[in-house]
Amino acid sequence: MAKPLNLLDKSIPTWKLIFLLAWPSIIEQLLQTAVNYVDTAMVGSIGTHATAAIGVCQSTLFLLMGVMNATGLGFSVIVARRIGENRYDEAREVMRQAMLGVLAVGLTLTLLVQLILAPNLPRWMGTAPDVRPHAVTYFRIIGANYLLHTGMLMATNILRCMGDTKTPLKFNILTNLINVCGNFLLIYPTRQLTVFDVTVTMPGAGMGVAGAALATVTATAFSAICLLSVLYRRKGPLQISLKDSYRPRTDILKQAVQLGVPTFLERATVAGGQIAATAMISGLGTVALASNQLALTGESICYMPIFGFSIAATTLVAQNLGARDKERAFQQGAWCTWISVAVIFTAGVIQFILAENIIDLFSNDPAVIALGGKMLRIEAFAEAFFAITTVLSGVLRGAGDTKWPFYISLLGMWCIRIPLAYTLIHKFDWNLEAIWVCMALDLMVRSALFLWRFYRKKWLAVWEEREAKLAQK
């Protein structure tokens, strides 16, 4: 397994340190996006209704993923902080408490999906009757694996905050291969394939949307087991054991909750807005719903690399503030931000030029291709603002300043994007364009607010202020 990178080594130039930490996460995000492209294309080949069924679930899945990511972030940032402070015994204690968090959150989400969300969400969203059964099936299968999915995200977050981004990449490659192979065998029925003039019979389960979900669950379960085993089996100062104490520590759990809850609320704010937007789009028809889903998938290849820089920013800021080096934390946060802007600007230009070609990869419906391509061109103008928003959000999280990303997201989503989109659709008869234009405006406002918070530098003292308050109590 890869060894964690020493992020406090000042002999390594800042730009080089950022790329050493970020590139495995960037490759991982791009790989996940590529596999998502394959998933979407495979499901899209079944028909527009299959694409729409998955599209109905995506916003809610994003919200539930936010709960899992917030849980992972709450514990992993504390781990990074303890590493910066050179307190490895305490870091291991935090990791063991994180496993308790996996059990609590994973089981709760599984029950929530199976008992409440999966049976009712498509109806609540106003989905067409012929789409609903496929959406229910997809959601039930995906939700059945949330315990292991939470464990996978927890282990990934912890490894990254240790400075090890290569190990999650390696297992992600295997996971995506399993996912693609599973799709190939489970989505389609048994059929004849001709390769180099040789015809062979390819077995298949013919499960359609359910097959896509089952392939995803199988791949995620594999990744979870492998990544969790790394935390328990890799020798070193941060190895944990099942023989150690797992008695709940109120102080650690409370601190993780203080960090994680605002992060979840931020994700809930964004996901709630996306659910509201999906509900509005559902009323515009199946073509609009499918076009929106494919445009979101197409756009992801542009912005996914930015999450690598956001992950790097969170880890670097947390460890440097743990080492009491505020100036270096600020410097590295700024470097992460502006490098990401340069990368996404270039990708945005490509997105604008190849908009229809990107949508054409997933659908053969001319109406869907034309409308989806138009949405990609609208969003290309806002990608740089998305980079600023995403990376600076990671900077603030690494400093423990998780409330401000929530405040800013709340303002952008619910004071700008959703009210304005609703007005444009229902008062001025706009189509899907309303959603994407308002998304761009939202990102512009949010990026300005994040820059204001970052350059005021008050976030550098948030963690110390919180610990001082805890000490007084």
What is the structure's pLDDT at 206? 82
What is the structure's pLDDT at 34? 67
What is the structure's pLDDT at 221? 94
What is the structure's pLDDT at 246? 93
What is the structure's pLDDT at 156? 92
What is the structure's pLDDT at 21? 84
What is the structure's pLDDT at 35? 66
CA–CA distance, 445 with 461 (Å, rounded to integer): 25
CA–CA distance, 149 with 107 (Å, rounded to integer): 11
Q: Could you identify the residue written with the tokens 């979101």?
A: 296
**pLDDT averaged over consecutive 10-residue blocks of the chain (473 residues)?**
67 84 80 67 73 77 84 91 91 95 95 92 81 88 93 92 88 87 86 75 82 90 94 92 92 89 86 83 84 82 82 91 92 94 89 88 84 90 93 94 93 94 90 91 96 95 78 63
Q: Could you identify the residue written with the tokens 């996996």?
A: 102
Token pair belonging to 463: 């963690």
CA–CA distance, 171 with 31 (Å, rounded to integer): 12
Residue 336, strand partner residues: none
Provide Rg for the chain, Cα atoms. 22
**Whether the Cβ atoms of residue 186 and residue 212 lie closer than 8 Å to each other:** yes
* Whole-prediction pTM: 0.79
CA–CA distance, 124 with 272 (Å, rounded to integer): 13
Among residues 3, 10, 28, the alpha carbon closest in space to that of 174 is found at: 28
What is the structure's pLDDT at 420? 95
